[in-house]
Every structure is written in structure tokens, then in C-alpha cells.
Structure 1
Amino acid sequence: MLLDNLALFLLIVEKGGLSAAGREKGLSPASVSERLAALEAHYGAALLKRTTRAISLTEEGRLLVDGARRLLAEADELESGIRSGTCTISGPIRLSAPEDMGRRYIVPILDRFLAEHPDVTVDLNLTDGYLDLVGQGMDFAIRHGVLADSTLRSRSLGENRRVVCAAPSYLEAKARPEHPDDLSRHDCIVMRFGANLDREWAFQVDGKPHKVMVRGRRVANDGGLVGAWCRAGRGIALKSVWDIAEDLASGALVELLKDFAVGETGLQIVYPPANVQPRRVRLLIERIASELGSIETVLTRIGDA
């Protein structure tokens, strides 16, 4: 019963309330409240702060979130091994990935993984914005850039070169930019990451950092849409080479300002700091790391071309 109550507690945290967790589990609000009270009595501490509008974790509650995930992962691993044998994996995997990269690379990997492991289920969240892995109950996420949350652990997947690019049709209508400062006279397509607009593009000019504030008529929080607009000749975009490698190879997009290196950011898998991950999660992480590693080798050749 303790493990069931721990799982319910994590669901309350994930859904942001007792009623939402109850609906997910088919339990009445009174039953959810009773089981939460039993859990708090077991540990001798309040786990949640509740108001009429929201809930938040107490210090003890935050500590229990990490411990509960670890305990449930270990219990699931044990049961799976006993019931199915060590060669079979089963159960859910929840992960997040950037929109464009997720559709282009991660979904095909997931399809192959699910075909090989019919007892595994996947819940994929595609987003270019910040996602609270612990609060949302995610096993791991694939992210670009610097790891902002120092409590998370990470595994490097290689480098992510950012490319200024445009369609040939756009360059036929507009003068090709020869210097980063020329971008101020162009229609640039801007990415939104959560509340932040990526309007400040960084370059290297004469070996020194040089930033340019860009502007444009189109802003989107979906990397796939930014790429589609760019291919349609709607403007100049700053994209990960992972997302546009095929377009560069086919000529659908042209790299601009290559002599003013935009720079690279890391590509990584990040995950909550649990001591134990279910075997199914570890296997999928290994598969993604292996397959993306092979792709990165090809992208490096494109960058050097």
C-alpha cells in the first residue's frame, strides 16, 4: 500500500492537484485526501502546502519526490525481472524532446524501439520550451544548450552547430548578407523559447564575440514551423544543423555567414537525479545516444564541407 500511495503522491505533484490526480486514477477527492493523509502520517511530516488555488511541495515533500521515484523504479525493475525474465522489458517511458529534432530523429528511434519491445509504452512530449522534468514526471529529456537546472544529471550527445540559413528564393529577392550586421536589414524568423525571444544572434567577428539584434515579421515557438517558413522563402533563420542537414544537402536551404562562426551548443540527455533508472529507460537512453552519435558523424562532415 505504501508504494501505491507514493505513486499517487507523485501523480498529485505531476497533475498539480488532488482532484486532477483522482480523476486520472478514478478515485474520489475524499479517497485521494485520505491516502495523502496516510502517507503524511507514515512519514510524520506535511508533504504539500495547499491553498484554494494551488499546491506546492514542502521541503519534506521535495525530498520524497526524488526518493519515491527511486523506490518505484527499483520496485518496477524487480517485478519486471521476476515476472518476465531479465531479457524482457516492460512498462512506461516518459520523455521530452525539441519539436523539430523530435519528429525528425527521435520518433523513428522510438518506433524501432517499440517494435522490438512490445510491452513498453512511450509518452513523448515535444516542446522547444522549458519543461520541469521532476514536476511533470519525465524519465528524461533531450535538450540543446547549457544545463540550467543544476539538480539534473546529463549525458552528452555531442555538439550542436547553429547555422544561419535561408532559401534560394529569399536570396533571389533580397541581397545576400555578407556580414552579421547586414541582418538588421533582413526579415529574420525568430524562435520563442518559453517567455524568451531569441532575437540576439551571436557571431565571431575578427576573433571577438559580436552580437546582432535581429527582427522580423514571424515569431514562433515551434522549431519545425520556423524551418518550414525558412524553406518557403519567408526569411532568414538560425537553426540547429541537426534540423536542416537534409535541406543544406539538397539545396533547399543555403548556409549564410559561414565565415562568422555562430558557435556550438551542447546536445544532451538530461534526467532527474535518481540513483536507479528502470532498465527500459536505460536501454532507450543507450539506443538514442548510439543512433544520434552516428548521425552526428554525418553532420560533422556536412559542417566541414
Structure 2
Amino acid sequence: MLDALKLFLTIIEKGGLSAAGRELGLSPASVSERLAALEAHYGVALLTRTTRSLRLTEEGRTLAEGARRLLAESEELESRVRLGAEKLSGPVRLSAPVDLGQSRLVPLLDRFMEQHPDVSIDLDLTDGFVDLVSQGMDFAVRYGSLADSSLKAKLIGENRRVVCAAPSYLQRRGRPSHPDDLVHHDCLIMRFGLNSDRVWNFRIHGQPHSVTVKGRRTANNGELVRRWCLQGHGLCRKSVWDVQADLDAGRLVELLPEFNADRSALQIVYAPTRVQPRRVRSLIELIAAELAQPTTRRDE
């Protein structure tokens, strides 16, 4: 049964029966037969298949969550028997925003892997949405509110988004003194999937105030938006976690701090698995402890 569940998860993660077969050294016919046997065992359809796509049914999603829990417990048991209770081993798959991942997480992961040489890391850096269950992620570090109520979250700290610019841009275009001045500036736009972040939120005299910004450059990569800003191509709105070093060094200047109202959570989210492997728990605890340090503005 564990082998069948592993095959089922591989089909989901690889996005197809043929790809799963190549990963596990099985023929497409063998993969199809084993999937059919698993569906017959539970008496339900686990996947909806077309010529171009493969999607989990509700029963398939439930099985995927349980399968990951069972396989994690199996790996944990084998690790304890073979290597002893104190040694961590096995893979950890996680997702994080591009900037935060490169600047803050990668050094932590390097240190974690040095301390635990039998642990491997699969890091997905993206500023877009990641379905943790269907993509087989152990957890993700995310900004903002928890959209998927089926996930659990561990709060790390508060994320403050700031408007900033390079000194070279401010010398050329001037410094905005009010949020409404932003309509006269080139703004660097982040795109999340199909949605562009063109509405920037502020607070004036205690009341919310939104400004629709415009600009010539839009990207779905936060690191690229930051680089454009450093090069003086426009104003950007970024998490303070991503630009704190630039603010401290004077490479960027925070703008309109007295109007800043855009605060949200920085958190670790994960599927509601009853038991996570110790390697996953240990890495989550390390990330939460290291990133829980408060960030401040340069003038505070």
C-alpha cells in the first residue's frame, strides 16, 4: 500500500502517468494498472484525466494529504531505526518568495544542510501561488493573509510594505510628498499571476486611501523589481524584509513613511498533516526563530 501511495503522489507531482512512470522506472501501462487498482481499492475516482490535464477529485485530494502523512511517518520510523533518534535525514520541499528566499532563506538552508548532511533540500522560489498539496511541498513561507483555509499557519512576524526609490531617481524626478503625487511618477509594478499590483494602499488622517499607480515596467519577479528600483528606473513597493539592507546602506530611500498603512503577516504555511518528519519540524523552527527578528526603518 505504501508503494501504491507513493506512486499516486508521484503522478500528482509529475503531472501525468507517463512522467510518473519515467520517474519510478515503470511503463505507462503498469502505472495505469496500479492507479486503477488503487481506485478500485477505495471505490472512488482519485483523478480526473483529459488529454491535456490531470486534476485531483475531492477524494483524491483527501487521499493525497493522508498519503503524505503516512509516508512521512514511514520515513521517520525508518530513519530512527537505521540512523538513531537524533540524526535527521531525507528530503524537505519548500516554497518561498524570490527576494526573501535568496537573501534570507538560502543562508539558513546552507547552514541547516551543513549541520544535517543526510538532509536534502528542494527549494521553489516563486512570487506566485503554490498549491502545497498538489505540488508535494512540505511548507511555504508566505506574505499576506491565508487564502486557503485548509492550510495551517505559523506566524513569524509582521510584514511592512514600503514605497522606495534610488537616490538617482529622486534626483531626476523629485520626491513625492503625498500619496497622490505617485500618479506623476514611474512606478514598478509587481504581477501576481494574472493580477497586477497597481493599487497601493495608504492611510491619511486615520482613513484608508488608495492610489492607482502606473509605470512602464511590470514583472512577476520581486528580485527583478528590486533591481529595477536600484537602477533608478522607478518607485517600487516592496516588503521591508526584501529591501532592509538597501535602506540601511542608502541604496534605496523609503518614501511616504507617515502614510504607510500596508501591513500584513509573514508566516509559514503547511498542510494540516498530523505528523511531520522531524527534519521538516526542525527546519520550520529554525526559519521561524531566525526570521522573527524585528525589522525597523533606518530613521527609527
> In structure 1, the residue corresponding to 2:134 is in which secondary structure?
helix
CA distance, structure 1, for counterparts of residue 133 and residue 104 of structure 2? 24
Please give the residue correspondences for 1:226-241 in structure 2 after superposition, counting only pairs within 5 Å.
Answer: 226-241=225-240
| Contact kept in structure 2, 1:190 and 1:218, CA below 8 Å | yes
Please give the residue correspondences for 1:46-85 in structure 2 after superposition, counting only pairs within 5 Å.
Answer: 46-85=45-84
Deviation at 1:38, TM superposition (A): 2.0
Q: Which residue of 1 aligns with 2:16?
A: 17
Letter in 2 for 1:131: V
Q: Which residue of 2 aligns with 1:151?
A: 150
Deviation at 1:303, TM superposition (A): 6.1
Deviation at 1:20, TM superposition (A): 1.4
Is 1:30 the counterpart of 2:50? The answer is no
Which digits, 9 at most, give the CA deviation of each residue in 1:242-284, with x for residues without a partner? 0111111111100100110132110000001111111100000
Is 1:177 the counterpart of 2:176? The answer is yes
Q: Which residue of 2 aligns with 1:191?
A: 190
Identity %: 64
Deviation at 1:198, TM superposition (A): 0.3
Please give the residue correspondences for 1:196-215 in structure 2 after superposition, counting only pairs within 5 Å.
Answer: 196-215=195-214
> In structure 1, the residue corresponding to 2:267 is in which secondary structure?
strand
Unaligned runs of 5+ in 1: none
CA distance, structure 1, for counterparts of residue 226 and residue 61 of structure 2? 39
Letter in 2 for 1:228: R
| Contact kept in structure 2, 1:164 and 1:256, CA below 8 Å | yes
Please give the residue correspondences for 1:1-305 in structure 2 after superposition, counting only pairs within 5 Å.
Answer: 2-293=1-292, 296-297=293-294, 299-300=295-296, 302=297, 305=300
CA distance, structure 2, for counterparts of residue 69 and residue 235 of structure 1? 45
Deviation at 1:175, TM superposition (A): 1.8
Deviation at 1:11, TM superposition (A): 1.1
Deviation at 1:199, TM superposition (A): 0.3
Letter in 2 for 1:106: L
Deviation at 1:169, TM superposition (A): 0.5
> In structure 1, the residue corresponding to 2:177 is in which secondary structure?
coil
Alignment: residue pair count: 300
Deviation at 1:304, TM superposition (A): 6.1
CA distance, structure 1, for counterparts of residue 59 and residue 257 of structure 2? 52
Deviation at 1:186, TM superposition (A): 0.2
Q: TM-score, normalised by structure 1?
A: 0.96
> In structure 2, the residue corresponding to 1:177 is in which secondary structure?
coil
> In structure 1, the residue corresponding to 2:258 is in which secondary structure?
coil
CA distance, structure 1, for counterparts of residue 261 and residue 216 of structure 2? 22
| Contact kept in structure 1, 2:248 and 2:298, CA below 8 Å | no
CA distance, structure 1, for counterparts of residue 246 and residue 197 of structure 2? 22
Q: TM-score, normalised by structure 2?
A: 0.98
CA distance, structure 2, for counterparts of residue 254 and residue 48 of structure 1? 51
